[in-house]
Structure 1
Amino acid sequence: MCRHLAYLGIAPISLAELLTAPPGSLYEQSWAPRKQQHGTVNADGFGIGWYPGDPYEGAEPARYRRALPIWNDRNLPELTAAIASTAVLAAVRSATPGTSPDEAVTAPYRSGRWLFSHNGAIDAWERLPDDLGPAAGPLRTADLLAGAGRCDSALLWTLLERRLAAGLPPVDAVAALVRAVAAVRPAARLNLLLTDGDTVIATRHGDSLWYAQTPGRVLVASEPTPGLTSGGAADWREIPEGSLVLATRSGVRSAPLRPASDAGRGHPRTARRPGPAPILTVEGTNP
């Protein structure tokens, strides 16, 4: 498993203020996660993606990734103090057994304006494209060979990126991918974060996920960091299991990942292609 976080704000925030300084920060979650349901430490690498320009003007993100524990990077304090951004996605990694140990498979993954992270694990992930069949979408052998590396998360990103490249709306692409994978891997844990610097699309499927919405900013994270918000712990709300979330700087919405007709079943159907998911307000938050 892993821990990850996405931030959108009207005002830039320094990476240090967001990721390393607050008590219970993502930095601290690398060795002392509080809500993690699988695994105990996240010491197999870390990555930070941020938008150095104005995301409203189509700025593409920069990344800093390492294959070592985040606390062992002596350059990190200076780097995080010097960089600020209005949009950030970051993760600390606990590698799935059998995956590559190098930084190429460390989130966030990137394509154009998109940044992506996966918190979870997929059993027998090497056979996943074959088991998905047509639900694998517009996937070619060349796409797999050009992927980030040998890792379940990297494979998920390849599957999702091809859907996005084919023109599927991002919310539909994320929802369809999670449903399809869960249908053939019921035990898979599929907490995803996807951002273009303007919106965040997230799923809770198998581990914890929280959000905090305050004026001009939104945070979506594996676990709450009360020091990041003026209201502390009271600003954080837990997202229900089996949810898809759409967050912007002005609001947070969610909907069930499974179509209503599948409620109560062991796992989602993939016999029919899901249409756009209905978006429901989360805990009274208005977009």
Structure 2
Amino acid sequence: MCRQIAYLGDDVLIGSVLSEPVHGLLRQSWRPRRQRYGTVNADGFGVGWYAPWDPVPARYRRSGPIWADPVFADLARVIRTRALLAAVRSATEGTDGGESAAAPFASGRWLFGHNGKVEGWPHAVAKNAAGLPSVALLELEARCDSALVWALVLHRLDAGAAPGPALADTAAELAAAAPGSRLNLLLTDGDTVAATAWGDSLYYLVEPERGAVVVASEPYDDDPRWIEVPDHTLLTATRTDVCLTPLKEPPL
């Protein structure tokens, strides 16, 4: 129900990753090619990026469609980065609008996105939410399924979990509580990327010519080097290495 992308690599303009590719995230907001659920991603967007002098990323988020935002066009034209995470949103019914509900969500050095839907939200996962510290619930950025997913992931990260297990365990927990949920999760700290393919499309591309790895809901061009990640798989990546680990579905 969204499209998202993470980039690690040589210093590039944001626009060279998000808006210049013929099928980039900008175009995916109104004409995605591989999206299985929904057709338009116009319920908000966001981009987070890292500067070399600061491990805490900057973010720009808005509640409207990315194609109608002239400020984004200016930012994409002039800002350079070695790492980013961006998303365009198609909202789950019954969730908040507004830019606070648009990915990427953030805490410290982390950026996070969720492509999918928690089935039966919020009732199906009320017990999962009850397991969080009260401060985590009070700090939710928005009343939406993705914000709760992020709180569950962040709780694991703060407890010392590595990025891959934090995503995999959260996906398994939510899938057990809310069967049929789509839980493509994406996380970066500017040096590594972790992602789950769980119910929707996920691809990666290694670009040695710019020392880069790209992880995305769908390819932004027709480069034959794009590789589709099998469903129920955990991806972890650096600029030079990609690892895929099968994940088990929870028992019914």
**TM-score interval (norm. to shorter):** over 0.9
1:6 equivalent in structure 2:
6
Listed as ranges, the gaps of 5+ residues in structure 1 are 227-231, 259-266, 271-287
Aligned length: 250
| Counterpart-to-counterpart distance in 1, 2:14 and 2:124 | 36
TM-score (norm 1): 0.84
| Counterpart-to-counterpart distance in 1, 2:30 and 2:64 | 13
Letter in 2 for 1:217: A
Residue 22 of structure 1: CA displacement? 1.2
1:250 equivalent in structure 2:
240
Alignment of 1:1-287 (within 5 A): 1-9=1-9, 11-53=10-52, 59-132=55-128, 139-215=132-208, 216-226=211-221, 232-258=222-248, 267-269=249-251
Is the Cα–Cα contact under 8 Å of residues 204 and 244 in structure 1 kept in the other structure?
Answer: yes
Considering only aligned residues, what root-mean-square deviation do their CA atoms show, in Å?
A: 1.6
| Counterpart-to-counterpart distance in 2, 1:189 and 1:103 | 22
Residue 127 of structure 1: CA displacement? 2.5
Is the Cα–Cα contact under 8 Å of residues 52 and 85 in structure 1 kept in the other structure?
Answer: yes
Letter in 2 for 1:59: P
Residue 269 of structure 1: CA displacement? 4.7
Residue 132 of structure 1: CA displacement? 3.5
Listed as ranges, the gaps of 5+ residues in structure 2 are none
Is the Cα–Cα contact under 8 Å of residues 3 and 115 in structure 2 kept in the other structure?
Answer: yes
Letter in 2 for 1:144: L
Letter in 2 for 1:199: T
TM-score (norm 2): 0.95
Residue 168 of structure 1: CA displacement? 1.8
Overall identity of the aligned pairs, in %: 50
Letter in 2 for 1:174: L
Is the Cα–Cα contact under 8 Å of residues 46 and 60 in structure 2 kept in the other structure?
Answer: yes
Q: Of Structure 1 and Structure 2, which has the larger fraction of its residues in strand?
A: 2
| Counterpart-to-counterpart distance in 2, 1:205 and 1:183 | 13
Residue 186 of structure 1: CA displacement? 1.4
